[in-house]
Amino acid sequence: AWSIQENSIDYQLLVFLRPPPGHSFHLEPDTTGQLPGRPSNIRVVLECVCWKKQVLRGTLCFLHQHEDKLPKDQSSIVLRTLCTSSYLDMQKVACWAQRLLRSAWLLLPQSHHCQLTMLPSSQSCKFLLISTANMTICTEIVFAV
């Protein structure tokens, strides 16, 4: 979604998160047994990928592989960065996206003409771009699974 005012443009981008290979996301119901309107309890679950092992060589199934054949560090860096316990932590996802955007911004040619300011947010990645011509672009990246 986007809107234009006098000297500003507001964007809202929806980014779908995909689980790492061998994992899936499961939205857990709230205390009443209903699925929540906004994802809050997203469990990250190991999935069997034995069928992939036959098609794609080198694919390890963390569920069925013998422990001595698994890498010493079974947990992916993505899971360690984005999860708390076995749940996707949207605050960690937002912080990760902000760090990624901040470091990528410096590599773009537009960084010489616009100032990037990260805005506080715990469930999304919000930032503000101000150009040398005083045009303001406010963007929010919202994550969905």
The DSSP line for 9-41 is EEEEEEEE--PPTTEEEEEPP-TTSSPPSS---
Q: Decide if pLDDT at 56 tops 70.
A: no
- Tokens for 102, please give them: 């901040």
> What percentage of residues in the chain have a pLDDT greater than 70?
75
Contacts 24+ apart (CB under 8 A), 96-103: 97/15, 97/125, 97/141, 97/143, 98/125, 98/127, 101/125, 101/127, 101/141
Edge-to-edge strand list for the sheet holding 114-119: 2-4, 8-16, 136-144, 124-131, 114-119
Average pLDDT over residues 96-125: 87
Average pLDDT over residues 55-79: 57
**What pLDDT does residue 72 have?**
46
Return the SS3 of 98. helix
**What pLDDT does residue 70 have?**
44
pLDDT digits (tens, 9 = 90+) for 8-53: 788 888 888 888 777 888 888 777 766 665 556 888 888 877 765 5
Q: Is the pTM for the entire model greater than 0.75? A: no
The answer to whether 120 and 76 have CB atoms below 8 angstroms apart is: no
The answer to whether 120 and 126 have CB atoms below 8 angstroms apart is: yes
User: Could you give phi then psi for residue 92, rounded to 5 degrees?
Assistant: -65, -40
